[in-house]
Amino acid sequence: MSDGRVTATPPVAEDTRLRLTIIGGYLGSGKTTWLRHQLFEGVFGKAHIIVNEAAETPVDDTLLSAQASGMTMLAGGCACCTGKADLVAVLRRLCDARTSLRAEERTQGQIILETSGLADPAAILDAIRQDGVLVHHIRVTEIIVLVDALNASDQLRTEYLGRAQIEAADRIIVTKADAVPFSILGRVAATAQILNPAAQIMAATKGQLVPLQDFSAALPFDLPIISGNEPVVPTKIDIGDDVDWATFSVWLSALLYARGADLVRVKGVFRTPAGPILIQAVRKSVQPPELLPLEAAINQNKMIFIGRGYIGDDLRRSLDFFAS
């Protein structure tokens, strides 16, 4: 520093990237209904809505546009595969428009992406990370996945996609809670928790949150193995003091490269020379780590791995090998 001052900890730079919330869920799980109610209640503030429909003719846009600050319709291709280029183009345009705003206006807006029922949210996350422009301008704050209480048992039994959506979620909302008895609601929630042990689970009826009773005793649905996909298992690793950031980052990046398809989620806070950072990965895709304020890092150096195809203890042993 030119003025000769010495600061012990450099101030954490504010993350000014545009926030993006991804809303996923199987066909007919109630994404538009839920989103419309949230917009009505002002949960997302001034948000630009992007709605993706796999079908050629859009129907959702008229329902939503009343409450949004802006609205883009992406029809005729699912944004996680065939419509990926369109989604990237729209997001780039939004980022572009934002740069012409005054600095204080920039902090307000956010984007809500309602995916098509056929989309895998993890693939969308990956598309954003792979794009050299978007990765600088967009921060995915949350993946919310809606699960239809009425149809979940059938879908999850047979559809790989339904499970993949749940696995990618930060928050799971069981919809149509009034349409099934409490016992079934509990079973749906318990099944979702097995598929994604790290996610927060809530229930809603027509977009309004309803209390979800304790479902820890509920019997989850049978989840037969679909095309070799065994259920995921969570592993928590306490990182010892002998593991520094260099070791951990090399190890984790190698692990994600080799086992990314099997590692559904990795999440935790790690102590680095620059301060505690939040690490989040969904399959092979790692979000740009966020530097956290020092006091926010109570649970640092604990990592959660959720995945399949490996033994949890092997993760510990392998990390120990690289740390020794």
Partner 1 sequence: MCNACGFPTRPGHWTDAGATTSGDRLRLQLRRVDVLNKILRGYGFSARTPGHGPGFALASFTGRTTLLPDLETVWEEAAQQLGQPLDPLDPRFTRSVTSS
Write out the residues near partner 1 by the rule CB under 8 A. 10, 132, 135-136, 242, 244-247, 249-255, 257-259, 270, 272-274, 277, 279, 286-289, 291, 310, 314-315, 317-318, 320-322, 324
Q: Nearer Cβ to partner 1, position 13 or 217?
A: 13
Residue (212 or 315) nearer to partner 1, CB: 315
Would you say 12 or 190 has its CB closer to partner 1?
12
Q: Supply the minimum distance, in Å, between the C-beta of residue 289 and partner 1.
A: 4
> Exposed e or buried b for every residue in 302-317, given b needs 16+ CB within 10 A?
ebebbbbebeeeebbe
Question: Closer to partner 1 at the Cβ: 118 or 128?
Answer: 128
Min CB(278)–partner 1 separation in Å: 10
> Closest separation between CB of residue 70 and partner 1, Å?
26
Q: Quick one: which of 213, 150, 200 has its CA closest to 177?
A: 150
The nearer residue to partner 1, 98 or 284, going by C-beta atoms, is: 284
**CB of 91: closest distance to partner 1 in angstroms?**
15
Length reported for the chain: 324
C-alpha pair distances (Å), 79 with each of 47, 65, 76, 275: 19, 20, 9, 36
Q: Are 122 and 24 in contact (CB under 8 A)?
A: no
Nearer to partner 1, 159 or 262 (CB): 262
Q: What Cα–Cα distance (Å) separates residue 314 from each residue in 108, 246, 255?
A: 45, 20, 12
d(CA 277, CA 133): 23
Q: Residue 265 carries which side chain, given as an amino acid letter?
A: R
In sequence order, what are the residues at sequence separation of 6 or more whose Cβ sits closer than 8 angstroms to the Cβ of residue 150?
176, 179, 180
Least CB distance from residue 313 to partner 1, whole Å? 8
CA atoms within 13 A on the CB side of 119: 38
* Least CB distance to partner 1 at residue 271 (A): 9
